[in-house]
Amino acid sequence: MFADTAIPKGDYVSPGFQVIRPDRCFPSMIIGDPSTQPWQYLRREIPHNWYVDGRQPYVGFLSRDEAHILYNNALKFAGQPALEIGCWLGWSACHLALAGVELDVVDPMLGREDFLNSVTSSLTMAGVIDRVNLIPGYSPAAVVDLVETQQKQWSLIFIDGNHEVPGPLEDAIACAQFAAPDAMILFHDLAAPAVAQGLDYLKSQGWQTMVYQTMQIMGVAWRGNVQPVTHQPDPAVNWQLPVHLQHYDVSGLGNFDLEEFKELVSQVRPFTLLSEMRLYSLYTATKQICLGDLPGNFVECGAFKGGASAMMAAVIQRYTQRPRKLFAFDTFAGMPEPTEIDRHEGVAANDTGFGVGTLSAPVAENIGKITQQLGVEDIVEIVPGLFADTLPVYRSQIGEIALLHADGDWYESTMDIFNNLYDAVVPNGLVQIDDYGHWEGCRAAVHDFERSRNLQFALEKIDYTGVRFINNPKSVAHPELPYEFREINILLCPDWQQPETDLQKELSAAISSILAHPQKGKIAIFIESQNIDAEDASLFVSGIFMDLLMEAELAEDEEPAVSFLSNLNLQQWGKLLSQINYYLPLNLKGDTAKTIEAIKNMNLWQL
C-alpha cells in the first residue's frame, strides 16, 4: 500500500488480484513464529508469513493472500453494507473498508479500551474510519440487535469469530437470515472442523460454495447475482485438503493441474527468467483460452531463451481445439539500445547491468533446444530481429491474437508491440506485460498508448513487475472532469519513486505551507498519481493531512479540496491544466527548505 505494493518475501498473492499494503497502519505487526502457537489447526507447514501483533503474538492475522481474497471480493461490493464478525486488531476490517464497503464490525474485544483504541488508530491511519461502525459485543446476539435497532441487511459478510462449536454454525444461521438476496459470506480458518460447519450449513441451504487453498483455508458461500473472485493457490506449495473439506470445490483448481504446471516449469526453468507467478499466469491463461476455444494465435515479444514460449506451446499442443501458432519475437542477439526514459528506480538502464547487448540467447542452443525437447517446434515460429522491423512484416501472418505477452523492457520496444499488435488482440484475449513494475520506460509506454487511444486498461498485478489485462476495450469518454475546482487550484507532482521518508517530508512541507494560507478554504489541491495506485497515493497523503489538520484544528469549511490524478488522457490533461493556477514539482529529494521556498514563490498570499 501507499508508494509500495511489492509483495514481501515469504508472502504470496494470487495472480490477477489488486494489491494493497496497509502495513504502516499496523505499526506493531510482525512476522510471528507459528511453532509457538499450540492451536491444533494452525497449518504450520505452509511456508507463508504468519503475521501477528507484537503485543499479542499468540493470535495470527489473515495471511497476505487471505487478506487479498477478502479485499478483492469486497471490491465487488463497494458502497454496499458489509458485516464482519471478529476483527481482532483490525487487519481484516482495514482490508474490507479499503475496498469501499460500509462496514459494521462486531467483536467482544472492542469492549476493551486498549483494543478499541488500537483498531480505531489503525483504521484512522488508513483513512477509512468514517466507513466503519465498531460494535463491542458477542455474535450472534449483537448481530440480531443491529437488525432490530437499525433494520440492517448485509450484502457481504465475513465470519472470523468464535472457532469453537457451536459458534461458527450459529453465526452462519444468523447471517443467512439477514443477508441480502444477492450476497456473499466469507469464512476464515476452515482448517478447523467447527468453522467448516458454518459453510456446511449454507451449502445445505442451497448457497453455492467453494474453498480457497490458503494458509488457514478460506471459504465462500454466495447466492443471487454475485460471483466470488477466482484464486490461484501458490504453485510452490504442495497443498493438501483436510478430510472435512474434500467435498468442496477449490478455487483455481477446477481445470488447472498444479502438477502439470510444475512438470512443465521444471523443464523450461533453465530457459526463462520469468518468476513462477508470471509463468503460472501464462500457463493458466493459455489453458483457459484453449479449453474455452477462444480464437487467435499466441505471440511472445521478448522470448529470450524461449522457456515461456515453449511452455505455452506445450499447453497449446495438449489442449487446443483448433490449429494455433505461437510467434516468438526477439533479437536473440541481446537488448537494443535503451533511451533516456528507460530507467529502474531512477537509474539509467545501461547502468543497471541489463543494458544494451545483454541477454543474448542464440537460437540453436536456447529456444531451438527447448522447443525440440518439448516436441513443439512445429507450433513455435521463431522470428529474429528488432520489433520495429519484424512486427509490421508479420502482422498479417499472425492474424488474430488470443494471448499477447509483451516482454520488451524498453519504452520504444513496448510501444512497437502495442502499436503493431494490440488491435489484433481478440475480445476477452489476454495481454500480459512483463516489465511494467520494473522498468519506468515500459510503464510509461503502456500509459502513453492508453492516452493515445483514449483507453483505460484494467491492469491486474501479478507480482512486483508483471501485470495483465483482459482485452475488453472501451473508449473513455470524459465530457467533464470529476474534480472539485476552487478559486485557487494547485497542482503538486511528487516523485513517488524517491524514498518514502523524503516523500513524506516534501509533501508535509508543501501541505503545511498551503494550510497556512489565510483563505485555505478557497484552495483545491491536485496531486499527480499517474504512476502509482490512486488509492495508495490517497492513503499516504491522507495520513499526512490528518496529522496536519488535527494540529491546525480547522473547521470543515476551511479545509482545501484534494483530488488525485490518475489515468488521465491527453484531452483531460489539457482541460485540467487550463484551470490550474500554480504548479509545484516535488522532486527535491526531501529538501523541505526548497519545498517551502517553492511554495512561497507561488505568491499565494498576494491573492
Tens digit of each residue's pLDDT (9 = 90 or more) over 219-228: 999 999 999 9
Instruction: Kindly state the cell numbers that stand for 511.
Output: 501541505
Average pLDDT taken over every residue of the chain: 87
Cα distances from 425 to residues 152, 277, 318, 328, in angstroms, run 46, 23, 22, 16
**What are the contacts of 76-81 at 24+ separation with CB within 8 A?**
76/156, 76/184, 76/226, 76/227, 76/229, 77/101, 77/155, 77/156, 77/184, 80/155, 80/156, 80/180, 81/152, 81/153, 81/154, 81/155, 81/156, 81/180
pLDDT at residue 597 is higher than 60: no
> Which of 521, 539, 520 lies closest to 529, judged by CA?
539
- Burial (CB count within 10 angstroms: exposed 0-12, middle 13-18, buried 19+), residue 267: middle
How confident is the model over 298-325, as pLDDT tens digits?
Answer: 999 999 999 999 999 999 999 999 999 9
Cell triple for 313? 506451446
Residue 257 pLDDT class (50, 70, 90 cuts) = low
| For range 518-547, the mean pLDDT | 79
Look at residue 462 in the predicted model and tell me its pLDDT: 78
Nearest to 182 by CA among 150, 220, 201, 154: 154
pLDDT classification of 594: cutoffs 50, 70, 90: low
CB burial class (10 A; 0-12, 13-18, 19+) of residue 557?
Answer: exposed
Q: For the CA atoms of the chain, what is the radius of gyration?
A: 26
- Of 109, 111, 112, 210, which is closest to residue 162 (Cα–Cα)? 109
∠ CA(484), CA(485), CA(490), 5° rounding?
115
Average pLDDT (362-389) is 96
Structure confidence at residue 602 (pLDDT): 46
Q: Which pLDDT value is given to residue 603?
A: 44
Per-residue confidence band for 241, with pLDDT thresholds at 50, 70 and 90: confident
Residue 471: its pLDDT value, please? Answer: 87
Q: Is the pLDDT of residue 449 over 50?
A: yes
Report CA 325 to chain centroid distance, whole Å.
31
Q: Which of 260-264, 406-410, 414-418, 488-492 has the lowest mean pLDDT?
A: 488-492
Backbone angles phi, psi at 213, to 5 degrees: -80, 100
